[in-house]
Amino acid sequence: MAHTKGPWSVSQQLGLRLFIVADDEAIAEILPCNFDAEQFANADLMVSAPELLEALEIAVQCCACTLKQRDSGHLVECFAPKAIEVIRKAKHRMSAP
């Protein structure tokens, strides 16, 4: 199953509840209810996730390794293996039945 399509945004209702919203529909609620700057920063990071994932998937295709180096696991200094690991982690439930 794929994640809810972005863009995502943060919505605060009546100053009491903080939601992550996609296409005018709440997809998650941020707890606890005593919001401070850290909770808003967390929410901003979460709503960036679809765009970060998309950017990371594009970046992996642009690493400086040759095809042969990619086939053997990339150069030691290449960012792609870590990026691929993070993408896999973000999508592991997408491939679950």
Binding site for Zn ion (CB under 5 A): 63, 65, 74, 78, 80
| Rounded Cα–Cα distance for residues 93 and 97 (Å) | 8
CB hemisphere CA count around 92 (13 angstroms):
6
Least separation in angstroms between residue 54's CB and Zn ion is 19
Sign of CA dihedral 77, 82, 83, 88: positive
The SS3 assignment for 54 reads helix
The smaller minimum CB distance to Zn ion, of residues 34 and 61, is found at: 61
Least separation in angstroms between residue 51's CB and Zn ion is 22
The smaller minimum CB distance to Zn ion, of residues 4 and 66, is found at: 66
The smaller minimum CB distance to Zn ion, of residues 6 and 81, is found at: 81
